[in-house]
Structure 1
Amino acid sequence: MKRLVLIDGKSVFYRGYYAMGPLSLSDGTPTGGIYGFAAIAMEIVKKLNPTKVIVAWDSKTSVSRRRAIYPEYKAGRTKPGDDFYAQIPLLEELISNLGWTFVEIDDYEADDIIGTLSRQADETLDSSGKCEYETYIISSDLDMLQIVDDNTYMWRILKGFSNIEQINVAEVEEKYGIKKSQFLDLKSLKGDSSDNIPGVPGIGEKTAAKLLNEYNDLDNIYNNLDKITGSVHDKLKAGKESAYMSRDLAKIMFDAPVSLAKIPDFRFDRDQVIAGLKKLEFNSLIRKIQKLDSISRKTQVGVQKTVSRESHEASEVSEAHNDGPEQTRSNEPQMSFPIDEKDIIIGWDIKSIMHSNDKIVAEILSGKPFWDLSQAAFLLNPLSREQPTLSIPEEEYQKQKAELEKYPRLYNIYTDFDLPLIPVLYKMEQKGMLIDRTYFSNLRAEYSAEVDRIEHEIFALAGKEFNLNSPYQLGEILFVNLQLPVKGIKKTARGYSTGAKELEKLKDFHPIIAKIIEYREAAKLLSTYIIPMPDLADASDRIHTTFTQNVTATGRLSSQNPNLQNIPVRTEEGKRIRTGFIAPAGKVLVSADYSQFELRLAAILAGDQALISDFNSGIDIHTKTASEAFNVPFDQVTKNQRRAAKVINFGVLYGMSVKGLADAAKMSIADAKQFINNYFELRAPIKRKLESILKQAREQGYVETFYGRRRPTPDVKSANFLVRQAAERAAQNMPIQGTEADLMKRAMINVDRALPAGAELVMQVHDSLIVECDENISKDVAKILKHEMESVAPELAIKLAVDVTTGHNWGEL
């Protein structure tokens, strides 16, 4: 499906203007608003991979039609300074360089342009009669909710430039207590001080929402005015004319003279974009271009500066200019200077710098020391989601180093685990995984037909066609048309929820539920993996994911753009997707997976000698657990008993409840409760360890891994039960999963060093590694993987086990 991105230009520009302050070119030309806009632009392209991008702008006469209705419309707004308007020509030039379209129409506001183009997108159908576009509106103006529908989404910019979030309409409805369709009438009644829309004097938001819930819309409120009593009646009667005038002012117009069909598609011209950013002296943004994985993975130009020991005067060693005289405040500086008699490379996100600077790559891979400011900041506070503080890199480095040196174990985590992994991840990202385009094309045709088949079966069961992806329409079908029971079903402002958990409660009441679940699974696989993968591959048919160490507080790696770690592991469908990832001719893929990694670590961290002995003896731990918990001989354990033991062996590490075990193992609540009681008698050391972890979280405010990685635990003292419960689960999970993450990082570093020529790491999925290698050395590579991974923690008195498999595609592993 095509993606249309419509940007409320002035709204985004305002945010950049006020956030960045007096940023300017070296000649004094102001650029703060443009910098903010450009930073947001990078995020839009990265997150949405759009087909068309249109920036709608308010012209000088944009308010004329509404002021003809009400001369005070938008009156009294404080105008920004002259430096705001001075940036607009440069902004238009940047938009052109980005390959986007700038639209400004006399007598129409940006909202009207966006509304018109969004409606045209809704009416653009493909050969099968379905809407051809998904539309994404980038704005902070809730007036845009008038436009949102099943194909149109609103994204708002939150704190900073990278936090762009899709608005959940149901949440907005719950906040205001009305339906989306009533939002215009809400504004007609309560008014809007920011736009100077009067509404009905004396009628506030709560009263307006109450009236709309009772009478549905503005017309019906006035048709039933005689039923409304007291002062509300009087205010409504006196303010009728103002209410309807306010509705005319707030209503988005859909008749702007603009044609979506005539607007060119977005084409990313890397050289043109870089030239535009260079002109604006935005070198830090040039370095971010390499992050646009869905557009280009070509090597980008970066900046490196050298500070001499004697003068400490910065001098350029690349063609790019510095970001103006005050740009030492940039949040992505890249600097190299002598520290303690050794050169050291310092920067925010070293791996990204490597992707954009071949010189830095050569230096780091040859052993030159480096310091990643963003990784150190995350390690010091993994719960922080604040944007990096703009500061001088050398000063930030000294500050971070001093802070880490207060905690020697944390310092060792940084120097022994996190930093050495960065070049390993860089090489994995550069290599990527090869895909079979023909395979994915055939899979797409098959799954598209499957989704259509399921869809028609659902329509037959429903007795009518409807938009399956609309929670509102689906709710109408299930709870109004089919009259399914609503007892125990979560209710939202728009009706009863149709989320996955709620559908599970209904699956025994009607066959349509199973079909809806089947449809969602197939449609998700199609839209998330099968369709996008070929588009995300480079000219050599390789997918280049981005690995991050600073997302998960446990230290686990994450995969982004695309997320290859999230392909379903235990389902046939997931296996079919992985089958499309292949080894080139003459090569194979070798996979090495830790067996029961977290449970082994739980045993050693808890000092559970019986469990450690069982692992070291090679006993089937799940059968042994079932035998002891159910009190039956080892050789008489049933499949169901072993499954229950396996579920609880892993589930206990994540705070599994009685009901959770009952559902997962298909047991009664009573049996599940008894089993957990028996289990914790059997595994008393683990229970004590979990309790001690929680005690540390409460008393010391943090928990840590075996090697010293920390996670703050402020919410374990929250007054909110749900928040506190979630925090307790996270705290108990951290030492085990975090230790696993630490050891996997060490394993990756060791494996990378040990692999021979012709073998390269290409993928990591939490407790498994995949190597692409020449076929004739695959047995040697398998031995290296097994040896390095099993011997990764000699300091732990427990045997680690690794299973190794070889295949020509990921699905065979």
Structure 2
Amino acid sequence: MRDDTLEMVKNDSFVPAVEIPSDKIMPLLVMAPELLVIWNGDSVWLSHEKGKTACLPLAEASVVLRGGLIVGHDTKDFLKALLAKNCRQLPAVKHDTAQCSFLLNPLRKSRALADLAGIESLDDPKLAIAALWEVYERQKKALAELPGLQRVAQTMDFPLVNVLAQMEFQGIKIDTSKLEKMNKSLTREIAVTQQNIYDMVGYEFNIASPAQLASALFDKLLLPIAGIKKGKTGYSTNQKELDKLRGQHPIIELIERFRELSKLQNTYVAALPEQTDANGYIHTTFNQDATATGRLSSTNPNLQNIPIRTELGRQIRDAFVPAPGNVFVNADYSQFELRLAAVMAGETVMVEDFNTDVDIHAKTAAEVYGVPIDEVTPVQRRRAKVVNFGVLYGMSQHGLAQAAHMSFAEAQHFIDEYYRIRPRVKAFMEQTIRQAHDNGFVQTLFGRRRPTPDVKSSNFAVRSAAERAAANMPIQGTEADLMKMAMLAVEKRLAEGPDVDASRLPSEAGKSEKNGFALPERQASSDSMLASTDNPSIPLGRQVLQIHDSIMVECPRQNAEKVSKILVETMENIYPSLGIKLKVDVKVGDSWGEV
């Protein structure tokens, strides 16, 4: 994998761009096919030609850039700044040097423009413009040598910047009263759980202290230490070690409950209300450059880590609500990774099972246990489900035994039988690992790459982990690529909106016209997605979250059926030549928890 940095140079080897008065250069800026952009607070430096630049106020630049093409570094925040200035039609991102740096080398630690250019400081915007030109031109050449990666950049990652900017800027509403009520309940339950732990031990101590907890478990309660890892401060009490003690003493379940409640309270229930804006909206950050597979991540706050299957997790998600008169429509790909594994491995029987809606977990259990599919027990199906998903991540017999509550011998037999009935899945993963060793990278169906230097490590643990990650990357990365394609396609379909005339556009903040989507007061006149004087139509809804394999849209209640249909049609047919049927489940509700 080639690096995308420039050769290290001295500051003075870059010649700052020459500033041209904006009034003299304005016609050229307006007519330019693309503009390089350096955002500097309330001002924007634009360049239509290498060596030249002009400085415009942000509000004026938003007019010049309307509907155009821009090249910039980490452009998402700049687009949000334009939205804050009531930009009606965002420019499209032709090239983002920060995002491109990630595509060319996901393992690179710093993607700051100064580091990419090899310059110590870019405080001078004219110097920053010069550096941007140099990095842009070098990255264009690098992408031209990698057609697959170039396609990923130009059709997925660069266009998605606009969609993510809109989603982050609009945010999602929080009902803080629900969280406040939940916080009081959690505080009471934590106190009760804490006291029960004290009663079992016989004295009070800091449960959050690993050393004090270890002393309570192993010195006072004399729980067995065989197989428990020991560090500098004593025996470990992390979750992996507590799992080994489950069933030995009722205090283990209480400690796990205490940790779960405390984490949810500190991370979400008590913290989320503090992170809302003046109108009660949360603005998470969606990152395209945080996972080597290309999956989006969520930070500040991390909404992907809210538990999915627990009651407490559902209660937290219940606090995420649409604006009055609106609903959430959530579309979730069913067994997405398994379907991709089947088709990418060429496991034709598995593909046919998915295409004919066979219960793949029951079918797997039936084949492994040698029983008719209608005689498969719930326990057998559950074990098969664990294997079906776990094998994609290189799950070992120990991992399966622990996850499916079976003996090591049973787990090994299950894995052996799985690979017997699905030989092409095993062959595909082995081939991918060989490619990682031979090529130094693995890639998705569309050409997104992940470097794999650690597969050559002399450390067995490091090498094994790298091989597992490499084996899974083509599947998980292809899943990420398809999700991005789906988000872009959904955005386009929603933006087409219903047929309306200008007289039916919302005239006041928060007003929900028939078949149209109006914004909360703070945004009613500022978002090009939802109201545009250039294109007098109102989208059917707006994307608010992308979590794991799902897309969630907020829309007026009367649009829910149409939006549901759009989501299913668009997502299931996102890549018709894939060779396997994709299935999308849709739910409509009055909170995130309901969908």
The whole-number CA distance in structure 2 between the counterparts of 1:806 and 1:313 is 52
Equivalence map 1:352-501=2 (5 Å): 352-358=77-83, 362=87, 365-366=89-90, 368-390=92-114, 391=117, 392-501=131-240
The whole-number CA distance in structure 2 between the counterparts of 1:733 and 1:720 is 20
Query: Are the counterparts in 2 of residues 588 and 775 from structure 1 also a CA contact under 8 Å?
Result: yes
Query: Residue 571 of structure 2 corresponds to which residue in structure 1?
Result: 789
Alpha-carbon offset, residue 726 of structure 1: 0.7
Query: Are the counterparts in 2 of residues 303 and 357 from structure 1 also a CA contact under 8 Å?
Result: no
SS at match of 2:427: helix
Equivalence map 1:654-673=2 (5 Å): 654-673=393-412
For residues 487 and 336 of structure 1, do their structure 2 counterparts lie closer, same or farther at Cα, with a shift above 3 Å needed? farther
Counterpart of 2:438 in structure 1: which amino acid?
A: E
Alpha-carbon offset, residue 308 of structure 1: 5.0
Query: Residue 4 of structure 2 corresponds to which residue in structure 1?
Result: none
Alpha-carbon offset, residue 797 of structure 1: 1.0
Query: Residue 643 of structure 1 corresponds to which residue in structure 2?
Result: 382
Alpha-carbon offset, residue 507 of structure 1: 2.4
SS at match of 1:642: helix
Query: Residue 553 of structure 2 corresponds to which residue in structure 1?
Result: 771
Query: Residue 762 of structure 1 corresponds to which residue in structure 2?
Result: 544
The whole-number CA distance in structure 1 between the counterparts of 2:233 and 2:92 is 59
The whole-number CA distance in structure 2 between the counterparts of 1:563 and 1:731 is 25
The whole-number CA distance in structure 1 between the counterparts of 2:468 and 2:416 is 19
Query: Residue 548 of structure 1 corresponds to which residue in structure 2?
Result: 287
State the Cα deviation string for residues 644-678 of structure 1 (Å, max 9, x = none): 11111111100011111111111222111111111
The whole-number CA distance in structure 2 between the counterparts of 1:641 and 1:608 is 22
The whole-number CA distance in structure 2 between the counterparts of 1:726 and 1:488 is 22
Alpha-carbon offset, residue 435 of structure 1: 1.1
Are 1:346 and 2:71 an aligned pair? yes
Query: Residue 112 of structure 1 corresponds to which residue in structure 2?
Result: none
SS at match of 2:551: strand
Counterpart of 1:636 in structure 2: which amino acid?
A: E
Query: Are the counterparts in 2 of residues 335 and 346 from structure 1 also a CA contact under 8 Å?
Result: no
Alpha-carbon offset, residue 436 of structure 1: 0.9
For residues 369 and 520 of structure 1, do their structure 2 counterparts lie closer, same or farther at Cα, with a shift above 3 Å needed? closer
For residues 702 and 319 of structure 1, do their structure 2 counterparts lie closer, same or farther at Cα, with a shift above 3 Å needed? closer
State the Cα deviation string for residues 196-219 of structure 1 (Å, max 9, x = none): xxxxxxxxxxxxxxxxxxxxxxxx
The whole-number CA distance in structure 1 between the counterparts of 2:83 and 2:542 is 19
Query: Are the counterparts in 2 of residues 304 and 335 from structure 1 also a CA contact under 8 Å?
Result: no
Query: Residue 16 of structure 1 corresponds to which residue in structure 2?
Result: none
The whole-number CA distance in structure 2 between the counterparts of 1:386 and 1:315 is 28
Query: Residue 115 of structure 1 corresponds to which residue in structure 2?
Result: none
Alpha-carbon offset, residue 470 of structure 1: 1.1
State the Cα deviation string for residues 539-586 of structure 1 (Å, max 9, x = none): 111111000100100000000000011111111111111111112221
Query: Are the counterparts in 1 of residues 44 and 58 from structure 2 also a CA contact under 8 Å?
Result: no
Query: Residue 470 of structure 2 corresponds to which residue in structure 1?
Result: 731
The whole-number CA distance in structure 2 between the counterparts of 1:659 and 1:414 is 39
SS at match of 1:498: coil
SS at match of 2:295: coil
Alpha-carbon offset, residue 362 of structure 1: 3.9
Query: Are the counterparts in 2 of residues 306 and 335 from structure 1 also a CA contact under 8 Å?
Result: no
Gaps of 5+ in 2: 1-9, 17-36, 118-130, 498-538
The whole-number CA distance in structure 2 between the counterparts of 1:782 and 1:399 is 43
Would you say how many aligned residue pairs link Structure 1 and Structure 2?
A: 503
State the Cα deviation string for residues 686-741 of structure 1 (Å, max 9, x = none): 11100100010011111000000000101001000110011001101100000000
For residues 417 and 669 of structure 1, do their structure 2 counterparts lie closer, same or farther at Cα, with a shift above 3 Å needed? same
The whole-number CA distance in structure 1 between the counterparts of 2:556 and 2:62 is 38
* Greater relative contact order, per chain length (Cα 8 Å cut-off, separation 6+): 2
For residues 308 and 522 of structure 1, do their structure 2 counterparts lie closer, same or farther at Cα, with a shift above 3 Å needed? closer
Counterpart of 2:76 in structure 1: which amino acid?
A: K
SS at match of 2:542: strand
SS at match of 2:191: helix
The whole-number CA distance in structure 1 between the counterparts of 2:324 and 2:87 is 29
Q: Which among 20, 30, 47 is matched to residue 307 of structure 1?
A: 47
State the Cα deviation string for residues 10-49 of structure 1 (Å, max 9, x = none): xxxxxxxxxx999xxx9xxxxxxxxxxxxxxxxxxxxxxx
The whole-number CA distance in structure 2 between the counterparts of 1:345 and 1:719 is 45
The whole-number CA distance in structure 2 between the counterparts of 1:414 and 1:358 is 24
Query: Residue 335 of structure 2 corresponds to which residue in structure 1?
Result: 596
SS at match of 1:357: helix
Query: Residue 807 of structure 1 corresponds to which residue in structure 2?
Result: 589
Alpha-carbon offset, residue 592 of structure 1: 0.4
Percentage of identical aligned residues: 46
The whole-number CA distance in structure 2 between the counterparts of 1:574 and 1:605 is 34
Could you state the TM-score of these two structures normalised by the residue count of structure 2? 0.81
Alpha-carbon offset, residue 792 of structure 1: 0.4
Alpha-carbon offset, residue 369 of structure 1: 4.8
SS at match of 1:601: helix
For residues 556 and 723 of structure 1, do their structure 2 counterparts lie closer, same or farther at Cα, with a shift above 3 Å needed? same
The whole-number CA distance in structure 2 between the counterparts of 1:386 and 1:484 is 46
SS at match of 1:317: strand
The whole-number CA distance in structure 2 between the counterparts of 1:658 and 1:646 is 15
The whole-number CA distance in structure 2 between the counterparts of 1:481 and 1:379 is 53
Query: Are the counterparts in 2 of residues 337 and 344 from structure 1 also a CA contact under 8 Å?
Result: no
The whole-number CA distance in structure 1 between the counterparts of 2:431 and 2:418 is 18
SS at match of 2:577: coil
Counterpart of 2:200 in structure 1: which amino acid?
A: L
Alpha-carbon offset, residue 313 of structure 1: 3.0
Alpha-carbon offset, residue 357 of structure 1: 3.2
The whole-number CA distance in structure 1 between the counterparts of 2:369 and 2:547 is 34
The whole-number CA distance in structure 1 between the counterparts of 2:455 and 2:64 is 43
SS at match of 1:783: helix
SS at match of 2:71: strand
SS at match of 2:227: coil
For residues 360 and 555 of structure 1, do their structure 2 counterparts lie closer, same or farther at Cα, with a shift above 3 Å needed? farther
Alpha-carbon offset, residue 431 of structure 1: 1.6
Equivalence map 1:737-748=2 (5 Å): 737-748=476-487
Query: Are the counterparts in 2 of residues 305 and 335 from structure 1 also a CA contact under 8 Å?
Result: no
Counterpart of 1:761 in structure 2: which amino acid?
A: Q
State the Cα deviation string for residues 206-263 of structure 1 (Å, max 9, x = none): xxxxxxxxxxxxxxxxxxxxxxxxxxxxxxxxxxxxxxxxxxxxxxxxxxxxxxxxxx
State the Cα deviation string for residues 601-657 of structure 1 (Å, max 9, x = none): 001101111000000011111111111111101110000110111111111100011
Query: Residue 361 of structure 2 corresponds to which residue in structure 1?
Result: 622
Alpha-carbon offset, residue 346 of structure 1: 2.2
Equivalence map 1:124-143=2 (5 Å): none
The whole-number CA distance in structure 1 between the counterparts of 2:257 and 2:83 is 47
The whole-number CA distance in structure 2 between the counterparts of 1:578 and 1:359 is 28
State the Cα deviation string for residues 123-177 of structure 1 (Å, max 9, x = none): xxxxxxxxxxxxxxxxxxxxxxxxxxxxxxxxxxxxxxxxxxxxxxxxxxxxxxx
The whole-number CA distance in structure 2 between the counterparts of 1:663 and 1:507 is 11
The whole-number CA distance in structure 2 between the counterparts of 1:375 and 1:783 is 32
State the Cα deviation string for residues 246-285 of structure 1 (Å, max 9, x = none): xxxxxxxxxxxxxxxxxxxxxxxxxxxxxxxxxxxxx98x
The whole-number CA distance in structure 2 between the counterparts of 1:528 and 1:695 is 41
The whole-number CA distance in structure 1 between the counterparts of 2:84 and 2:199 is 62
Alpha-carbon offset, residue 305 of structure 1: 1.5
Q: Which among 557, 573, 577 is matched to residue 296 of structure 2?
A: 557
Could you state the TM-score of these two structures normalised by the residue count of structure 1? 0.60
The whole-number CA distance in structure 2 between the counterparts of 1:423 and 1:369 is 7
Alpha-carbon offset, residue 441 of structure 1: 0.6
Query: Residue 507 of structure 2 corresponds to which residue in structure 1?
Result: none
Alpha-carbon offset, residue 389 of structure 1: 4.8
Query: Are the counterparts in 2 of residues 336 and 344 from structure 1 also a CA contact under 8 Å?
Result: no
Gaps of 5+ in 1: 1-19, 27-282, 288-300, 321-333
For residues 738 and 806 of structure 1, do their structure 2 counterparts lie closer, same or farther at Cα, with a shift above 3 Å needed? same
Q: Which moved more, 1:410-419 or 1:463-472?
A: 463-472
Alpha-carbon offset, residue 775 of structure 1: 0.2
The whole-number CA distance in structure 1 between the counterparts of 2:384 and 2:221 is 40
